[in-house]
């Protein structure tokens, strides 16, 4: 196990021990969503995501996509396999897809 992975695992364990978050099947946690600015126009992108099994899976996707500059809000539902992102530009589609796929899930645009 690399030093970076051990450090991340230790951090997640400490946060969970403090009762700050609930860890899921992959020990994920999600940051608080960023507030959308009223002065910036946003669009909504909807996706079907395959491979999610628990709230930890959806939290991992939410956390990773909220790291992308321009993603204002992320709502991920593991039970229905759906996700909706409020973004500043539709051009963020490729970045969202790549981030979700890097986590090991499948992702397709929903109608």
Percent helix, strand, coil in the chain (nearest 5)?
Answer: 35, 25, 40
User: Is 60 exceeded by the pLDDT of residue 45?
Assistant: yes
Which pair of tokens denotes residue 105? 């899930």
Owning domain of residue 92? 24-109
Mean residue pLDDT across the chain: 82
Entry pTM: 0.66
Tell me: pLDDT of 22 over 60. no
Q: How many domains are there within the chain? A: 1
Does residue 37 form part of some domain? yes
- Residue 48 φ/ψ region, left for φ over 0, alpha for ψ in the -120 to 50 degree band, beta for the rest: beta
Count Cβ atoms below 10 Å from residue 103 Cβ, excluding itself. Answer: 19
What average pLDDT does the segment 83-100 reach? 96
Give, in order, the Cα–Cα distances in Å from 68 to each of 7, 19, 25, 63, 111: 22, 27, 24, 9, 23
Q: What is the pLDDT of residues 68-82, one digit of tens each?
A: 999 999 999 999 999
Q: What is the CATH number of the domain that holds 30?
A: 3.30.70.100
Confidence of residue 49 (pLDDT cuts 50, 70, 90): very high
């Amino acid at each position: 196990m690399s030093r970076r992975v051990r450090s991340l695992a230790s951090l997640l364990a400490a946060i969970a021990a403090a009762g700050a978050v609930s860890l899921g099947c992959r020990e994920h946690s999600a940051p608080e969503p960023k507030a959308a600015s009223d002065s910036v126009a946003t669009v909504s992108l909807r996706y079907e995501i395959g491979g999610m099994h628990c709230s930890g899976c959806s939290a991992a996707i939410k956390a990773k996509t909220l790291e992308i500059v321009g993603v204002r809000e992320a709502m991920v539902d593991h039970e229905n396999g759906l996700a909706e992102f409020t973004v500043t530009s539709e051009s963020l589609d490729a970045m969202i897809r790549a981030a979700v796929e890097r986590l090991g899930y499948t992702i397709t645009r929903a109608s």
